[in-house]
Structure 1
Amino acid sequence: MMKLNTIKRAGRSHFVNMGPIRLRQPFPTQHIEMIDPFVLLHHYGPYQISETNNPFDLGPHPHRGFEPVTFLVQGEQLHRDSLGNESVVKSGDVQWTTAGRGIIHAERPTKEFVKQGGTIEGIQLWLNLPSEKKMMEANYQHEKHEDFNVITSEDQQITTRIIAGELDNTFGRIKTQTAVNAFMIDAKAGGEQIIKYSKSHQGMVYLLKGKVTVNGVEAIELDKNQLMEFNQDGEGFSIKAEKDSQLLFLSGEPINETVATYGPYVMNSQTELLEAMRDYQMGKMGFLPAN
């Protein structure tokens, strides 16, 4: 019989302010510094976007030393970067940026989306890179919602999009630099599913909406326990949807290195952070015009 991972902790996803944007930040917090190899998780929106209200317009800014990943849940965003990429990311799409030695990018709703109005919601994830890959060439991947491989539960009530990694010999389209799983799970009320993953991974599940019982013992729901982290002592976990729900599952092999962060940089030392700031100021991360 399959051994389920025990629950390490469950925590709320508190709101924080970042400039004009108010969003949920399940980690880092005073209780959870990071869940190695994941450095940060932001749940932004839902925001109502219009010509008179558009707080989600992030101008050109740099990154180095990690992979910023966006799971767009609702809406439409325009991505531009210093590698020359320009793409419209739509609801359900994923953009996976490997910042490596440095990239400058900008995100905002498309002009058409702002004009017609609508809702934007998504997850921003920061995935650490090991020291030997922090200065690799930058790269950008954009995969569309309809192109992901999907697994459906036996009761036909739960669908799992395999974004990265592997589940039941079904693989994600995103090419990763480290051993990582990323699944988006949509569950109808009453649906049940077992999600298997490697014992070598640290795993967690984050609830975007609804209510789900995990391992038959503890429920996660909005404004209560939204993030659940597992111990590395089993082969997976079970879920049962109490309401129509959406969850993001993440797991990865811990890198187990010292992490130093400042602003948009994730490195291994304060010296490397200073080098990153200097290189950005000197234009070594490329150039991206404001418009």
Structure 2
Amino acid sequence: MKLNTIKTIGRSDFVNMGPIQLRQPIPTQHINNIDPFILLHHYGPYDISEQNNPFDLGPHPHRGFEPITFLIEGEQFHRDSLGNESVVKAGDVQWTTAGRGIIHAEAPTKDFVKKGGTLEGIQLWLNLPAEKKMIEANYQHVKNEDFRVVSSDDGKINIQIIAGELDGVYGRIQTQTSVNAFILDVEVGGTFNINVPDSHQSTIYLLKGDVSINDSETLKLNKNQLIAFNQDGEGFSIKGNEASKLLFISGNPFNEPVTTYGPYVMNTQTEIMEAMRDYQMGKMGFLPAN
């Protein structure tokens, strides 16, 4: 395999978002976005209890992209203006296509808050191309046990195929564009070569642990946690230096202008103004506070 060379190595520093602190590897001062991915938030691990529950996101709108949650640990309750209500548990993925507009709310479940525990996850914003920004909104929730898995020959790396395809194994999520999303669980000494379509921009992000990429760069918590690759090879190699968990994402870049404001991702400032107006007029639906 011809390995993709490394384009960018990024940190995952903490930022403040209201009452909570979370890691934000995309965007940063050095990385605006990795087309088609607009934002990556790594939240937690938080110790949730009745005395401490900062991660309660009330109803808020989105338009023009796909907000995706990979829940690593804990339990969240999702509800939205389409009428969906679901309990998302550790390992589950919720993939929302905001399209022309959706309002949703997320919070740890009441039972989880009462018994207490650790909450951790990834919030990823996947852009939609201009021709699909105003499609009907949709919501997908796939449980951890329903995802297919690709394993290394030594059994020390297991790759959960969330969306897209790896080695002939396909994800359960139906996507609007050509995109891959995998969760990797890596044991010490495990090695694997991951194939990446040459049309995709690709990125790997470390949630915990220590791994070597292409036998040349190391990803380690609180140091470098993200690598973006050039589109000049067939994939990359990974080796576990300790027990690790990572998110791999790749997709066809759109090469379109991107304009963002709060919860909206559009192509022009005029479209942002239209989104704000449509939300205020109730065109994105309605979701009560409780």
Give TM class, smaller chain. Answer: over 0.9
2-structure distance, mates of 1:79, 1:135: 22
Q: The residue matched to 2:271 in structure 1 has which SS? A: helix
* Residue matched to 1:197: 196
* Residue matched to 1:215: 214
Matched, 1:163 2:166: no
Structure 1: gaps of 5 or more residues: none
Aligned residue-pair number: 290
Q: The residue matched to 1:136 in structure 2 has which SS? A: coil
Paired letter, 2:132: K
2-structure distance, mates of 1:285, 1:12: 36
Q: The residue matched to 2:287 in structure 1 has which SS? A: coil
2-structure distance, mates of 1:136, 1:218: 40
* TM-superposed deviation, 1:96: 0.1
* Residue matched to 1:137: 136
Q: The residue matched to 2:242 in structure 1 has which SS? A: coil
Paired letter, 2:288: P
* Residue matched to 1:43: 42
Matched, 1:25 2:37: no
2-structure distance, mates of 1:8, 1:196: 17
Structure 2: gaps of 5 or more residues: none
1-structure distance, mates of 2:84, 2:189: 42
Moved more, 25-34 or 83-92: 25-34
1-structure distance, mates of 2:10, 2:288: 40
1-structure distance, mates of 2:186, 2:30: 29
2-structure distance, mates of 1:220, 1:11: 9
* TM-superposed deviation, 1:282: 0.3
Q: The residue matched to 1:289 in structure 2 has which SS? A: coil
2-structure distance, mates of 1:134, 1:268: 9
Paired letter, 2:200: H
2-structure distance, mates of 1:28, 1:197: 23
Matched, 1:122 2:121: yes
The alignment yields a C-alpha RMSD, in angstroms, of 0.4
* TM-superposed deviation, 1:30: 1.3
* Residue matched to 1:64: 63
1-structure distance, mates of 2:188, 2:221: 15
**Percent identity for Structure 1 against Structure 2:** 74
2-structure distance, mates of 1:277, 1:27: 24
2-structure distance, mates of 1:222, 1:116: 29
Matched, 1:80 2:68: no
* Residue matched to 2:255: 256
CA-to-aligned-CA distance 1:211-260 (integer Å, 9 cap, x gap): 00000111110111100010000010000000000000000000110000
1-structure distance, mates of 2:280, 2:217: 49
1-structure distance, mates of 2:144, 2:278: 35
2-structure distance, mates of 1:25, 1:143: 25
The structure 1 segments of at least 4 consecutive aligned residues displaced by more than 2 Å after TM superposition are: none
2-structure distance, mates of 1:218, 1:127: 26
Q: The residue matched to 1:154 in structure 2 has which SS? A: coil
Paired letter, 2:130: S
2-structure distance, mates of 1:159, 1:50: 32
2-structure distance, mates of 1:274, 1:71: 30
Paired letter, 1:160: I
Q: The residue matched to 2:135 in structure 1 has which SS? A: coil
Q: The residue matched to 1:210 in structure 2 has which SS? A: strand
1-structure distance, mates of 2:168, 2:49: 43
* TM-superposed deviation, 1:9: 1.4
2-structure distance, mates of 1:130, 1:9: 24
* Residue matched to 2:227: 228
* Residue matched to 1:148: 147
Matched, 1:267 2:266: yes
Q: The residue matched to 1:242 in structure 2 has which SS? A: strand
Q: The residue matched to 1:244 in structure 2 has which SS? A: strand
